Amino acid sequence: MCGLSGYFRAEALASAEMESVLSHMIAQLAHRGPDAEGRWCDPAAGIALGHRRLSVVDLSPAGAQPMRSHDGRFVIVYNGEIYNTQDVRTALDADAAIAWRGHSDTEVLIEAVVRWGLEATLRRLEGMFAFALWDCEAQVLHLARDRFGEKPLYYGVCGSSLVFASELKALRAYPGYRPEIDRTALGEYLRFGYVPAPRSIYRDTHKLPAGCFLSLRRDTIAADLPAPTPYWSAEAAALSARERPYRGSEDEAVEELDGLLRQVVGSRMQADVPLGALLSGGIDSSTVVALMQAQRGDRVRTFCIGSREPGFDEAEHARAVAKHLGTDHTELYVQASDGLAIVPRLPELYDEPFADSSQIPTFLVSQLARRQVTVALSGDAGDELFGGYNRYLHGERLWRRLVGIPRGLRSLGARGITAASPATLDRAFARLGRWAPGDLAAGRAGDKLHKLAGFLSADSESELHGRMLSYWPEPDAVVKNAQMPRSPAQAVLPGWRFAERAMLADTQQYLPDDILAKVDRASMGVSLEARVPFLDTRVFDLAWRLPMAMKIADGRGKQVLRRVLYRYVPPAIVDRPKQGFAVPVGQWLRAELREWAEALIAPERLQREGYFHPEPIQRCWQEHQSGKRNWDTRLWSVLMFQAWLEHQQTEARA
């Protein structure tokens, strides 16, 4: 796991100057690779490749980067892990034996490109990666990213140069890189809490989409850049899987999934450094840890963050799972002050506006784990593959009820719900006790009902799903001069249920641009490699072959995955309502963070900076402070942009 950066110039530059520029760029990524630094430049070709190394596999100099192929044709800088390295290496040796320098996956990757070519190699790889590959013979630069988007890769044009890196901060270190904020991207950020690929927050700077590669010649830099080429598509893979539906019983599916996950988790446990797991006590992370422990002779190291805030603590659940499995468990109870102390670091850590507030506990648990291990497995992506989010469970049922009601009546119902504050609704449903509907009895009834009110006027299933994910449903009313694109229509997928469409859409956007980005920045911010076992193409394929009844049944998701876990952990320990990895941002904004927030969103400041209309933001702020509404996610998205903007301005003056 590492950080990479570099540039490809259309104009010549002296060797010493190229080295100096490259050194400055990769210095910004030291947190991603604290163990070593490498540089490679070809002034005649105008190409410079830089690398920061976090040594995980093959700690020797034989694994150092930039790495050149044995035949001298290719040079690579690479970030990630290839989990089927041994299979690829065996296949290469079967054709013709290679005098391997070491056992790193980097060497196997570059030699595979020599033997099979780039696209054929990408199709064979199982892992997480982003890399830049220079073809010395053809004088072509290739940029590539893994299928699901676990590892980031940004690129853009600066003058006559193409610049690229794992994080935007390395691009900002390139001389003359003075990016302009993209107001369309800003609007999409306010809608989702992140900037969806292929956009970045900067105009003319892009994220390479998941499952794509981009090939560039020197004469294409100054012209319009070519579009990335997909080598894998989640939609195509899901459609292919559905054409081969699973024919076995649910018991057989549990057996097959158990065996497959054991194999996949085992492949993610290969490392030459200490390894552990992040454990929340939920279905996904508990399954990963159970399968790790089942394959280890010693105790797996597990890590969890606890909170004293009511409704925000998962530590007791993680502790129960760890005790049953016999792991070497470490937990840390954090105070509000611990979470608040992270807030000033978020703009630099995430490097692009990012508003998923679970970024705070994700960073804290990564920081905790890094004290003992260099690699940690996580349970992310189980929800998208096996139907775990509440929106999958309720969206289809809600749409069936809404579609026959005139929109005017639905809007009237929404106004009736929001006439009462969330706090008032909380008290009302608390008095109902066990007679309250299931989700509302679990707590935060007022927030849930207010959120429901925002869904009532949706015109389609696609719009309903989008609103379920939206922070600001109409961001162009908040962002000045935003030219918001029409939301792309979901693919025409005849016979698909709401949950299936939503699961695929989330795999394509929410997973890479929110969940995986959050985990990457938080973990790499403390030089921890996070691995996601569920993101294996074989698991993806099996999940999409299974009928929905094996995923969503009896009013809850992840049916077949739960049954795998029950083989290792009793249901009583892990069965409970789904709880997000959250912090009480709404409470903080009324107390500890109030002064900080008021300074960032002061109307005169917003007017002066020119990005936001102050009125809707101030209205949300006042309603939040009064307790009339809980606008924590909307306000947090604005505040994270404002804090990021302030950090950029401070950085520019330094």
The residues that are catalytic are: 2
Instruction: Return the SS3 of 409.
Output: helix
The gap between the terminal CA atoms of the chain, to the nearest Å, is 30
Cross-strand pairs, 129: 80
Q: H/E element holding 163?
A: strand 161-165
Q: Which residues of 473-491 are buried (b: 16+ CB within 10 A; e: fewer)?
A: bebbebbeebebeeeeebe
Distance CA 446, CA 579 (A): 16
Distance CA 558, CA 270 (A): 27
Measured at the alpha carbon of residue 37, what is the angle toward residues 33 and 40, in degrees to the nearest 5? Answer: 130
- 83 Cβ contact partners less than 8 Å away, ≥ 6 residues apart: 126, 127, 264, 267, 268, 270, 536
My answer on whether omega of the bond before 66 falls inside 30° of 0, hence cis, is yes
Residue 338: closest CA among 314, 369, 308, 315: 308
Cross-strand pairs, 199: 206
Cross-strand pairs, 4: 51
DSSP 376: E
How many other CB atoms are found less than 10 A from the CB of residue 245?
10
Distance CA 430, CA 57 (A): 53
Distance CA 79, CA 82 (A): 10
Q: Give the CA distances from residue 122 to residues 69, 234, 460, in Å, rounded to whole numbers and listed in that order.
A: 17, 15, 37
Instruction: Return the SS3 of 192.
Output: helix
Task: Dig out the tokens for 465 from the structure.
Answer: 């799903």
Residue 610 φ/ψ region, left for φ over 0, alpha for ψ in the -120 to 50 degree band, beta for the rest: left
Distance CA 388, CA 562 (A): 10
Q: H/E element holding 212?
A: strand 212-217
Q: Give the CA distances from residue 484 to residues 37, 291, 475, 480, 528, in Å, rounded to whole numbers and listed in that order.
A: 41, 45, 8, 11, 37
Q: Where are the beta strands (DSSP E) in 90-152?
A: 127-135, 140-145
Q: Is 103 exposed, middle or buried (0-12, 13-18, 19+ CB in 10 A)?
A: middle
